Amino acid sequence: MKRELYLFLLILIAGSQILRAEEGMWIPMLIEKYHIEDMQEAGLNLSADDIYSINQDCLKDAIVIFGRGCTGEMISGEGLVLSNHHCGEGAIQSHSSVEHDYLSNGFWAMSRAEELPNSELSVTYLRYMKDVSEEVSDGLIQGMDPQERQRKIDQNSVEIVREAIEGNHFSAQVKPFYYGNAYYLFVYEEFRDVRLVGAPPTSIGNFGADNDNWMWPRHTGDFSLFRVYADGDNQPADYSLDNKPYKPRKHLEVNLGGIQEGDFTMVLGYPASTSQYLHSEAVRSMIEESLPMKIGLRSQRLGIMDKHMLGSDEVRIQYSHKYRRVSNAWKKWQGMILGLERNHVVDLKKEEEAAFQLWVEQDDERVMKYGELLEEFSELYKEMAKYSVATDMYGESVMAVELFRQIMAIRSMMMKGTDTDIMKSGMDRFFKDFHRPVDVDIFAAMMEAYEKEMPALYHPEFFAEVKKKFDGDFHAYAEKLYSKTVFANKESSAKFVETWSVDQDKAQAIFKKDPISICLDQFREIFALNITEENRRIEGKEEQVYKAYMAALLEMSDESFLYPDANRTMRLSYGTVKGYQPRDGVVYSPATTMKGLMEKRKQGHADYLVPEKLVSLYEDKDFGLYGVNGSMPVCFIASNHTSGGNSGSPVLDAEGRLIGLNFDREWEGTMSDVFYDPDLCRNIAVDIRYVLFIIDKYAGAGYLVDEMDIHTAE
């Protein structure tokens, strides 16, 4: 049953407890208390301690934060990590060139000596978590000034973290849950020597590309392999040839038995952000205003990048990862609008709010605490409207310009007194993947869009110059701007760093007078004077209203039914392998095979190119141990509740064995960040059998499969 209807029925049926299978991103530490019996009834054959424990090795100890935004899992006792191709793409791209195009051709280390180090990549383990709500709340009193209250919370959190990491090499965070109605401590261990082991070519790892992104049926082998290294004591260390493959506490067993519709599935990972408890006005604004504007701006950026990438292999390599980052959200947002409108979520939210108000009015004490919350929401969103539009426009147009982001990075390094060598290294990384004509075109398009969408009050001074001296031609202005700035050219940027190394005052003067820096400063000044402070004030008020609203919802409901929004902490979701019906007359089965991949290939679409070796393996039915009755499984879908950040998460069977690698959701269900529909929301995974088939039969790297613990069907 949908969550909104559940809350309504909760009021009408006192004491009822309606279980909702599939929906929810649950805190692993709490599954023993709230969920293990339901999970076991759904098919799980593990105990709560098998999943999360601080007293024994468990599934938690095989799951890592991969890089800064994905999930990965240990799949061997020799430090082998599996994650998505799109999660490893930045590392793959960093080693690629026109001469060694690992994006197009793939990369496979055939020995440990051939594995490639990645200075910007790490993997991070959750070692334990702890409820610290009481400690964080120490010293808080009723009626406390909100800013003073937050300062006290921050002080308490700092002390909790200090105690957690004292005398060890761990890091820690205190994170709010339920809009600050609860707090948990997370203690992590980070490993910094992570080396690229293997990646299929993009034609496999991103098969279907934009055409298939967020879509089902899917035929994408979205995976890559890395290895974690540690020092002689099996402890985290910087890259060194003396390091050894890390011996993890736990690694996953791989199940070659395959999947059937209705099979239990479980996902462990690090979903980034959800907003399940939004007010109806927030959802309406998202559907009608915010997302359409963002989609339009990104459409322009993608068209510009695509034009330049098609004209040059060098630019294609430089911008492949950037393009994917921009297009991923662009297409997701379109699916969110579709799903939210189809489910009439604004109306459902209004029904939920009416039911909430009815519940409040049934008790005088509740009226005192919560009686004005919905009215406060209405006033809040009226006040917020103009600031939200400006903030979105700034993020999607001004911050779309690479050179603006580079200027901000340089300013930050100068303020921190960053070492010259580190500044040079940062410059080198920037220019390796920077093509000036792309950014000139994006600058011109985004500034033109900003001028049209934003009132004159928010226009920077240089817009007048564009109108007066360039007859309103932003592209002509951009060409001149980029020819004058120090920071659009690698050589002149290097000279700036040299100046910084000998005369910081002179460098500061150059920076302040640089035309691109002046443009950005004009935007910054506008927002500082007209938007930033007021927006922060409103956001602070919004946090307080949502905190009170969430406290009321927790009071209304058994806490076991209200999962906290995702916030980049480890979560568990469970469901089943299941197809769905996206629209009338269309029914999707839950699995795909290479037959469908080859049918797409025949369409001749550029996104459906297939390597000739893969074609030969298919035509010869040379599937090795991984095929089933003459066919080769590729992907499957399940009803697990996932979000961004779950990319690379393991999909596990009832025994906790690896059956797939999560990499996407289907388009019609991308609204699950805001509203989960069990009939429509599905996560997409590459079947582990296809992963192993590509490693073994396509790449000839079977030695990697030999590292793994493989469970075969009986």
Say whether 117 sits in a helix, a strand or coil.
strand
222 is catalytic: yes
Structure tokens at 447: 């500034």
- Residues 146, 153: Cα–Cα separation, whole Å: 10
Q: Is 303 exposed, middle or buried, given 0-12, 13-18 or 19+ CB atoms closer than 10 A?
A: exposed
- Residues 651, 609: Cα–Cα separation, whole Å: 27
What residues are paired with 538 via a beta bridge? none
From 86, 251, 308, 641, the catalytic residue: 86
In sequence order, the 6+-apart residues with CB closer than 8 A to the CB of 308 are 315, 319, 435, 437, 438, 441
According to DSSP, the β-strands at 254-255 and 264-269 are unpaired
Q: Is 412 exposed, middle or buried, given 0-12, 13-18 or 19+ CB atoms closer than 10 A?
A: exposed
- Which letter, b or e, does each residue of 75-103 get, where b requires 16 or more Cβ atoms within 10 Å of its Cβ? bbebbbbbbbbbbbbbbbbbebeeeebbb
- Maximum CA extent, the chain: 78
- The crossing angle, in degrees rounded to 10, of helices 420-432 and 490-502 is 170
Say whether 2 sits in a helix, a strand or coil.
coil
- Residues 262, 591: Cα–Cα separation, whole Å: 12
Structure tokens at 424: 């040079």
Structure tokens at 103: 């994006």
86 is catalytic: yes
From 76, 285, 397, 647, the catalytic residue: 647
Closest CA to 106 of 704, 699, 711, 707: 699
647 is catalytic: yes
From 61, 210, 222, 664, the catalytic residue: 222
Structure tokens at 278: 């939004």
Instruction: For residue 557, give the amino acid letter.
Output: S
Residue with tokens 């406060």: 376
Closest CA to 389 of 467, 286, 274, 476: 286
Closest CA to 26 of 575, 550, 548: 575
22 alpha carbon, distance to own chain's centre: 21
Structure tokens at 271: 């979903």
User: Angle at CA 240, nearest 5°, toward 239 and 246?
Assistant: 75
Taking the CA of residue 713 as centre, how many other CA atoms within 13 Å lie in the half-sphere pointing to its CB?
11
Taking the CA of residue 462 as centre, how many other CA atoms within 13 Å lie in the half-sphere pointing to its CB?
20
Closest CA to 171 of 151, 190, 143, 154: 190
Could you tell me the sign of the dihedral formed by the alpha carbons of 674, 679, 685, 686, in that order?
Answer: negative
The catalytic site residues sit at 86, 222, 647
